[in-house]
Structure 1
Amino acid sequence: MPDGSLTERDARRAVADAVPDQRVVSAERVDGGTNLLYRVETDASEYVVKFNTFVGREIAAAEVEAYRLLAESDVPVPRVVDDVHDPAEGSAYFVTTAVPGAPPTDVSPALAREMGRTLRGFSTVPGVDAIDGYGRLRRAPGATPPLVGSADTWRAYVEWAAEMLLSKPSDEVADLADPVRGVVDETLDAVPRRPDPAVVPDDYRPANLHVVDGEIAGVVDLERAARGDLRLALVKSGYLLTRVRPAGGGDRLRAALSEGFGSDVSDERRRCYRAVAVASEIRGFDIWWDDAADEAAATLRGIVDELRS
């Protein structure tokens, strides 16, 4: 969780060190994330400081390199200005440019299609072919680009990811872990071992997008990005849309997302990827739902029943 010992002063100092020719004007904490973020304005531009207060340093280091890799693509990501991933004391952090706009307060079918088109851009990132391995990206200083996958095959990574998520389920929905694990085991052969590689964002959802006049102007939060089959992100993003828009509305958004992406997913592979998305909710259920837990748990049980049928 965010570190209370870090303050606005630390964020100001981080930006002052990153751009010493600019004068810091203001700093404001950005709420809603697990790590601690500040938006800092100077007399010339705006920046975001992300302090590594929740995830491990290796995850933060890989996120920085993912941003750098995507800087040469059509995906609108912030530019890394400074990266202090191994400080002598205190939390690691990095500084990026601030992307314009803000997360949408609502998602229309038109925006869902735009989400699909933007997601497709992750499949054309220069340099991704040169990365060794599949799965979660890790910083590899001696490589070009300085990233490596965590697994030999994409299928092995998907199997590992599902088990990692289901190994520590939230108490209220812990009984769903074994049924979802069974779906993964049943459908895993439909997952390609070595697909055409793309950068696969782990948490591609409206809260991590910045929108200006209905168009996506920024994609943030590349923690735990992977190298592999981009359709995992498509299925997971569609699942998240159905969870925030129940009673059929989410299905229309999911269809629009796939339309914008430009292709669909075979049935068994979709089931496997959907099971992984459900596993994410089982792992983080308490954080996801908080006060709405009872209703969300009932809905999730219905989703798992449907997934198994």
Structure 2
Amino acid sequence: MESITKNRQPVEALRAMVARAYGPEEVPDAGEDWVSELSDGWFNVAYRIRLRSGTQAVLKIAPPPDVEVMTYERGAMATELAALRLIREHTKVPVPEVDFADQSHEVCDADYFFMTYIDADNLHAIRDAVAGTEINAYDEALGAITRELNTIPGTAFGPLAGPGESTWRAAFLRMVEELLRDGERRGVDLPHGYDVIREVVAAHADSLDEVTEPRFVEWDLWPGNCMVGDGRIVAIIDHERAFYGDPLMEFGFAGSESSAYGDATAFIRGYGHRPFTTAERTRRRLYNLHLALIQIIETNFRAHTGTEQYDWACERLQETVALLAE
């Protein structure tokens, strides 16, 4: 996926980063075919690196400092590193090992880190070629993994590194308001007026008060961030959007209120969630509204040249506003 947030670096800078992380003895010889870009990501640039010893690693680099990102994306790489540490400390969910992280900006103009390379298939990439029963098994496993991630407790609602809020209502309303201000600042057109969206969210905010315990929410755990092999999930990747909040905000539940996000049945079965209450369905609709806002507004920040995502997400926003009006 192409985006102006991808901070591609010249080969000599990549060699300097490898030397800093693994030592000069692991820097590949000049001219060797040792680096390739992994093109599936939507935000950070990522490279597959083959070290001189033959070991493979992945290098992720944060966006360039002169490229404006959305408010909630600021410090995303630090969030990912914190998320990986929490997941390893509190769960058995498989994630890559961080080999080295550098925030000095001495050999690169942005934060970067190296992690282990996962030799497996991307579930989103192979989904159409896999039998339905196998997809259901993967979705069930993804539900179980998500539930395990949600057991990690927080002390406040909001970003992993803070500042946090004492209530989920305050944290979620802040998340929505940050998005709306980003869109207004960039002049992004919404199918409903910005103040209309604010009114819709405020009218249903009481449903958020049921959530009283901050829990780790991976949020971006869709099939594209799930690596599989030999019929099982072998790693979860891309953790830069994690926060402490309501587990019902996890992406796997999105299809429960909109079939456009896929069938959530197997995921919910694997998660072990009982049938949703009226308040939970309202919250899930609010979370789909939040997701649609991100998908619309980020097309401007990432300078998309096509309108496919924008048009699709506008449909999702209109759909969700109508559901909330029922």
TM-score tier (shorter)? 0.7 to 0.9
Relative to 1, partners in 2 of residues 1:78 and 1:242: Cα closer, same or farther, differing over 3 Å?
A: farther
Confirm whether residue 257 of structure 1 aligns to residue 235 of structure 2. no
The match for 2:216 among 186, 193, 199 is 199
The match for 2:63 among 53, 59, 72 is 53
1:173-197 deviation per Cα after TM superposition (whole angstroms, max 9, x unaligned):
3426444433422332222476344
**Cross-structure match for 2:105:** 87
Question: TM-score, normalization: structure 1?
Answer: 0.80
Determine the C-alpha separation between the residues in 2 that align with 1:11 and 1:241: 43
Identity rate, percent: 24
Structure 2 counterparts to residues 117-266 of structure 1, below 5 A: 117-125=144-152, 128=153, 131-138=154-161, 148=162, 150-169=164-183, 171-175=188-192, 177-192=194-209, 195-233=212-250, 236-239=251-254, 246=260, 250=262, 253-264=263-274, 265-266=276-277
Q: CA RMSD in A?
A: 3.0
Aligned partner letter, 1:136: P
The match for 2:117 among 98, 101, 107 is 98
Question: TM-score, normalization: structure 2?
Answer: 0.76
Aligned partner letter, 2:146: L
SS at match of 1:151: coil
Which moves more between the two structures, 203-212 or 23-32? 23-32
Relative to 1, partners in 2 of residues 1:109 and 1:177: Cα closer, same or farther, differing over 3 Å?
A: farther
The match for 1:19 among 18, 22, 29 is 22
Relative to 1, partners in 2 of residues 1:231 and 1:84: Cα closer, same or farther, differing over 3 Å?
A: same
1:48-74 deviation per Cα after TM superposition (whole angstroms, max 9, x unaligned):
111111656633212212111211321
**Cross-structure match for 1:7:** 10
SS at match of 1:307: helix
Alpha-carbon contact 1:11-1:40 (below 8 Å) kept: no
The match for 1:111 among 131, 138, 142 is 138
1:16-38 deviation per Cα after TM superposition (whole angstroms, max 9, x unaligned):
32222645471111113221111
Relative to 1, partners in 2 of residues 1:198 and 1:300: Cα closer, same or farther, differing over 3 Å?
A: closer
1:241 CA displacement: 8.8
Give the number of equivalent residue pairs: 289
1:164 CA displacement: 1.7
Q: Give unmatched runs, 5+ long, in structure 1.
A: 139-147
Determine the C-alpha separation between the residues in 2 that align with 1:276 and 1:176: 18
Determine the C-alpha separation between the residues in 1 that align with 2:256 and 2:21: 37
Determine the C-alpha separation between the residues in 2 that align with 1:158 and 1:96: 31
Relative to 1, partners in 2 of residues 1:3 and 1:168: Cα closer, same or farther, differing over 3 Å?
A: closer
